[in-house]
């Protein structure tokens, strides 16, 4: 699913409904991956 599609569905469902459907676990996984990449760059430099 694209970001635009998520936003569109969120608007259709209403903001409160959209927030409830937000998956914090997936978000945390993405953040962890970004942090790992950044820490690898920092340790190399």
In the chain, domain spans? 3-44
Query: To 5 degrees, how large is the angle CA 23–CA 28–CA 29?
Result: 100
pLDDT of residue 33: 92
Question: Which pair of structure tokens corresponds to residue 15?
Answer: 């903001």
| pLDDT confidence tier of residue 32, bands split at 50, 70 and 90 | very high
Query: To 5 degrees, how large is the angle CA 33–CA 3–CA 19?
Result: 85
Question: Tell me: the pLDDT tens digits for 7-26?
Answer: 777 677 666 665 666 778 88
pLDDT of residue 5: 80
Average pLDDT of every residue of the chain: 76
pLDDT of residue 41: 78
pTM (predicted TM-score): 0.41
14 Rama sector, left if φ>0, alpha if ψ -120 to 50, beta otherwise: left
């Amino acid at each position: 699913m694209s970001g635009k599609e998520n936003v569109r569905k969120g608007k259709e469902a209403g903001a409160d409904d959209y927030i409830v459907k937000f998956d914090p676990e997936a978000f945390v996984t993405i953040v962890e991956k970004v942090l790992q990449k950044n820490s690898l760059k920092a340790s190399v430099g």
